Chains A and B, each alone.
Chain A
Amino acid sequence: MSEAATGAEALVERLLAGEHRALARAITKIENRAPGYRELVSALYGHAGDARIVGITGSPGAGKSTLVDKLARAYRDRGLTVGVIAVDPSSPYTGGAVLGDRIRMASNVGDMDVFVRSMSARGQLGGLSTATADAVTALDAFGKDRVIVETVGAGQNEVDVVRTADTVAVLVQPGSGDDVQMLKAGILEIGDLFVVNKADVEGAARTVAELEEMVHAGEGRTRATGGHHGPGFASADGREGGADGADAGPTDEADGDDAGADADGADEEGTDDWTPPVLETVATTGEGVDELVATLDEHYEYMARTGALRETVRSRYAAEIRQLIRNDAADLLDDELDRRGGVEALADAVARRETDPYAIADEVLAPVRDCLAERRSTSDDTDGD
């Protein structure tokens, strides 16, 4: 066993024993992809799976951090332990970041059972969703009852992150024309519930009304495509359908009206269905937070009851597996490109019209393809015997 792997083993032991420092270090290793982090996360998986994961997203300034703070407090009042992962963007130029969410989380000072960790969106290509998913696993294995993942709802990266939660709450602030922006960003589809924060501000009632209208107009669409956690996941034919997070989404906005009519019919038959509720909160005072807690629990119970939870968990792990394999394969291929003189040299060759990208891709991947084909035929032979 390598030194890194033994180190990981000791770290897991300390983490499971409840050492905060070990949990913090585990997340650092995950973020840095430090040597031994794979063994670490592998070992943690065996101890995770009990926490409920809540995703909170919304535009900057909507009050996410303040609400997360109050939500954590409310969970603590109910005797639950809480982990928070607050994701902030980083500069694409320097990689630096100022992570400011902690400033707004002061309700749980001196209470180590609320474990807040700030993460920045280092790197690209879904690395963020892998890192946050692994950090959630660490908090889960540590024994946190609730894990809250907070992200700015802008950009595919962030949406991918929050999509992995059991329940997603989308925060909207009143009267800024925000709601229309949300529709544009396609974030409406991922909300299992909507929270109009700063509900004491003028225009809040209108925003609530607008959101409710949108939710109801979108009902059929959610149903038709599986949406985020809609009942479409538990589709009768049992196939994965739209469950692959990356591909789920509104396929055709235009048929929303037709499907909406169907949805009404279904409701009358008393089908067990989830229509995203629109809540109102004032995060600074804690108003509406109890109701939020209750609604989050209701949604979780609904998910558990209808089997949608199983589908969500499955699609979460499916996305993780795919992401991990893509990253690993990309690393292998980078090595191969380096061996062939580096991607720049190959690009120059294309510019000189000596070759083309497709020929290069074919050539670089040929050994992989051949090897897999050979393995397959060997294992087919074995199976046949």
Chain B
Amino acid sequence: MSTRTGQRDGDRRTIRCLIAKVGLDGHDRGAHVIARAFRDAGFEVIYSGLHRSPDEIVQAAVQEDVDVLGISILSGAHNTLVPKVIDGLAEYGALEDTLIILGGIIPEEDRAELEELGVAAIFGPGTPMQETVEFVREHAPERR
């Protein structure tokens, strides 16, 4: 492929991800690590920075038209923040074709409800990076 001179139409699909820190917790090591792993996997990663509101995340996800939204929460506020993000995405018609994954500290008993809302997967501490990358590769929605 690299020996080609042209850039053929349709050649350049790249998985785009938004890695978002929502709410007040300042623990961004996990978000940084995953952003770097995604980059090394050949994805385009937009990192939100710390302390973002759900609205900001929605705005960024819609405008950037990301395939994957990865939210990192370690504050325990996931039950309030995640639904707000999901509602916002729905409002802009972006919920259906955005793969939403969660990372951080999410107690087992909260998971079912979040998944019902539209979270595709939850990756807790200790998840091998490759597993997350593979999951995204497999499930990133087709852009039509």
A contacts, CB < 8 Å to B? 7, 20-21, 24-25, 27-29, 31-35, 37-38, 90-91, 94-100, 102-104, 106, 109-110, 112, 115-118, 120, 122-125, 127, 327-334, 343-344
Contact = CB atoms under 8 A, between A and B. Distances in A.
Contact of A96 (B4, B12, B41, B49): B41
B82 interface: no
B143 A96 contact: no
B13 interface: yes
A321 to B, nearest CB: 16
8 contacts: A21-B93, A100-B46, A116-B60, A120-B14, A125-B5, A328-B6, A330-B4, A334-B4
Given A94-B41, A103-B49, A110-B55, A115 B8 contact: no
Taking residues whose C-beta sits less than 8 angstroms from the other chain, chain B's interface range is: 35 or more
A35 B10 CA distance: 6
A90 B7 contact: no
Given A94-B42, A124-B7, 10 more contacts: A21-B62, A25-B65, A33-B8, A96-B41, A96-B42, A109-B53, A125-B5, A127-B7, A334-B4, A334-B6
Interface in B57-111: 59-60, 62-65, 92-94
Nearest to A111: B59
Contacts of A328: 6
B144 interface: yes
Contact of B6 (A7, A32, A333): A333
* Most chain A beta-carbon contacts within 10 A, residue among B7, B35, B43, B48: B7
A98 B36 CA distance: 7
B27 interface: no
Given A34-B13, A116-B63, A96 B6 contact: no
A181 to B, nearest CB: 27
A24 B45 contact: no
Given A32-B143, A123-B7, A344-B3, A24 B64 contact: yes
Contacts of B6: 327-334
Contact of B12 (A109, A112, A123): A123
Interface string B119-139: 000000000000000000000
Nearest to A26: B65
Contacts of B16: 28
A90 B12 CA distance: 13
A32 B12 contact: yes
Given A109-B55, A123-B12, A7 B42 contact: no
Contact of A102 (B3, B60, B93, B144): B60
Nearest to A32: B13
B4 to A, nearest CB: 5
A29 B59 CA distance: 19
Contacts of A116: 60, 63-64
B87 to A, nearest CB: 15
Contacts of A32: 10, 12-14, 143
B62 A91 contact: no
A20 B11 contact: no
A20 B94 CA distance: 10
Contact of B94 (A21, A34, A123, A332): A21
A123 B6 CA distance: 10
